[in-house]
Amino acid sequence: MSTHAMPSGAGEAYRRYLSAVMLHGHASAKACALGATDLYALNVLDLAGPMTPGELGARTGLTTGPTTRLIDRLEAAGYVRRAPSPEDRRKVIVEPVGKPAGLDEAMAPARQQIGELLSSYTPQQLEVLFDYFTRATDAYRTAAEQLRDSSTD
């Protein structure tokens, strides 16, 4: 663990950043007539590929009932489909089959602004930033699993 002192206000700046990311996610979902969890689940499926409803529930933090309703909504909207698992036809997997109309348009302004911001960094700075994103992703997933596991005890 690093012994470097954090800059003054670093914790607050990071919390503001996370809040802004969450706010943008909610606004993007609303622009596409979706709930934030629905858009989040579509992102999970887009990044990880088809998975069982149980896996999707674990990755979204939902229990069985809400996961079923989530899949029902996304299936009715034409964004996912349930299909037999190729490994075990008794199991069902959820596959992404479409994305919300208007999602790219809703995301474009932020993508452009973030792209411009990133272009101001050197290749070495970008390497550090993306190393952080990768490592922080793992840290947050682990922490979420620990919270989930401790709440079921």
Q: Return the pLDDT at 98.
A: 86
- What residues does each domain of the chain span? 17-100
Does residue 95 contact residue 83 with C-beta atoms inside 8 Å?
A: yes
For the domain with range 17-100, which CATH number is right: 2.70.40.10, 3.30.565.10, 3.90.850.10, 1.10.10.10?
1.10.10.10
Confidence tier at 5 by pLDDT (50, 70, 90): confident
For the full predicted model, state whether its pTM sits above 0.95. no
Distance of CA 36 to the CA centre of its chain: 10
Q: Return the pLDDT at 102.
A: 87
Does residue 81 contact residue 95 with C-beta atoms inside 8 Å?
A: yes
